[in-house]
Structure 1
């Protein structure tokens, strides 16, 4: 049976949107290993069809990457050597698969498939054209299909996580989760504390979540009106909290995709620095807020290039609270 390697080297949400493609590979492969970056590895372990997760911090993918470490590259090549029959390198439209393909070739992987607009030389066995401008999960699935991997009959291609998630105690029965942090400042909504106050005034039980480096942010947003879980959850526990929630309110960041994968409706405060068509939460149960025609659209900026951050700052907290109430119960 085929021993397959699926590579996605960036962050949590980037890995989650590869779930349908991973399931397509798993449908015909004997085993599936995911090679992920350190920010995406925990999410990779939650994808159905994954047997093993390897971790590598790729300097051609990671933002603010450290210099190339030859010893780390050598260790990765040694770890991969002789273990896989085929590899699928999954990338977003602005990333190159070729540095990864070079390492896979050095490791002796006999068949590697990826999208490449640049000439790959002998690095790729299956060179795929850029897929249409579709939602990222659809794009990843198109790459898998081009490499010969199809979803099994009955799989609708939705985002999914494994069913077995850890229990998280002391949660309200039907909370609304607010996740105020974002991977980049340009994607951050500045008025989350006002949203929490409005929801609390309406009798909504609010839970605020965030990573270990976001404790000050989550404390300020919770403000004594919400349960603050900032810095207290693993990715698997965050997924469990989101699965228990009625709605997630969030910026354009990884937990939006995590919520989609557990069936929770999403209010997305979406900065247009990346395309909405590709990166909106992949669920029919969503409300998207934010000016998609703002001057920053398509810039991929990490810090807002427009004074005042108008694409998101102009969204009134009352509109966010109303969107949350609109989605309560729709996925029940």
Structure 2
């Protein structure tokens, strides 16, 4: 069945904020190729970023029980969601997944809503449940970046785009007030500074606090950098504890900025130093160089098309997933776990990337732009 006449498309990406951001180029391809209205069904964890994604026209928020979310789904609203999908008369639905997820429960929502075309990767033969079935060969044959995986999925029905960059809209008018807030904390944006984002949604992706502390102290003492410690409201205690341990030259901003302010802050930062969480995908979407301390979980989620350095570290064996697909990746891709990067490795990566990314004659500076094209990740 041709998708050329599909003008009302449902995209289902019921995961974290970073996952939805990475799906942006594929959603753009659908919108551009078919001139379609795009509605996204996503989780409460991704709700805030939707308004910053220009490809999305409308959103439905629903926490699915087969996806790890911050809230417990209410089983009584399943029929309501199906009824809502029916009322919208979608021409087609696309189920976006990582390779370790089974798309069939999600596809069932679209099937029960009577959506005539459903596109998804799937290992099993879905028969009538998925009309446009793309056999999922990841991770057993190869592993693609998540952005490429999603783009290749929609390409099977003829959706392509010439702009494969991640994109978030930024309110640049917020920068003066953000600068003032930083000044109130003691940070001078006219002098060298970077963001350090240590908080994670999963403990297994934590980089040791003692390593953060030693690295930050060296960056301050040896290179004169100011360290802005960012995090959500729930991570405020972490940024404050790190600030106390790091001392002079570091500034705690946990819980300080709303999402729209944080996106703007990341855009104007000379560099982001972070664990692998949604923050690195925000940085990729606004063109900010990134050093990522990358827990060896899913190799698909590295920074996309932005200057970056990856320092991998192993996940403790007792925290390994029981998902058999992820277990396969642990036994193959991560068969030889890397050692935990030392503070010196972090310092060297930060300084090297700052030098490579800064304009000539402006050490450790960064000129934010609306869109940049970088070599593929």
Q: 1:317 aligns with which of 343, 348, 361?
A: 343
Task: Supply the distance in 1 between the matched residues of 2:235 and 2:149 (Cα, whole angstroms).
Answer: 31
CA drift of 1:65 comes to 6.3
Q: Counterpart of 1:18 in 2: which secondary structure?
A: helix
Q: Counterpart of 2:128 in 1: which secondary structure?
A: coil
Tell me if structure 2 keeps the 8 A contact 1:111–1:125: yes
Tell me if structure 2 keeps the 8 A contact 1:37–1:58: yes
Name structure 2 gaps, 5 residues minimum: 1-5, 183-188, 324-329, 331-335, 358-365, 367-377
1:129 aligned onto 2:135: yes
Q: What is the TM-score of this pair, normalised by structure 1? A: 0.87
1:160 aligned onto 2:167: yes
CA drift of 1:119 comes to 2.6
Tell me if structure 1 keeps the 8 A contact 2:120–2:134: yes
Task: Supply the distance in 1 between the matched residues of 2:74 and 2:338 (Cα, whole angstroms).
Answer: 38
Q: Which residue of 1 aligns with 2:241?
A: 220
Aligned residues: 319
Q: Which residue of 2 aligns with 1:148?
A: 158
Name structure 1 gaps, 5 residues minimum: none
Deviates more, 1:72-81 or 1:31-40: 72-81
Task: Supply the distance in 2 between the matched residues of 1:25 and 1:285 (Cα, whole angstroms).
Answer: 27
Q: 1:238 aligns with which of 249, 259, 262?
A: 262
Q: Which residue of 1 aligns with 2:352?
A: 326
1:250 aligned onto 2:268: no
Task: Supply the distance in 2 between the matched residues of 1:312 and 1:58 (Cα, whole angstroms).
Answer: 34
Structure 1 runs of 4+ aligned residues shifted over 6 Å read 310-313
1:106-165 CA-partner distances (Å, limit 9, x unpaired): 2222211111112323211111122651111111111111233111xx42x122212446
Task: Supply the distance in 2 between the matched residues of 1:45 and 1:143 (Cα, whole angstroms).
Answer: 24
Q: 1:195 aligns with which of 215, 218, 227?
A: 215
Q: Which residue of 2 aligns with 1:211?
A: 232
CA drift of 1:330 comes to 3.6
Deviates more, 1:172-181 or 1:2-11: 172-181
1:168-225 CA-partner distances (Å, limit 9, x unpaired): 3324245311000112111111122222222222211221111121111111122243
Q: Counterpart of 2:9 in 1: which secondary structure?
A: strand
Q: What is the TM-score of this pair, normalised by structure 2? A: 0.77
Cα distance change of structure 1 residues 243 and 329 upon mapping to structure 2, 3 Å threshold: farther
Task: Supply the distance in 2 between the matched residues of 1:284 and 1:110 (Cα, whole angstroms).
Answer: 38
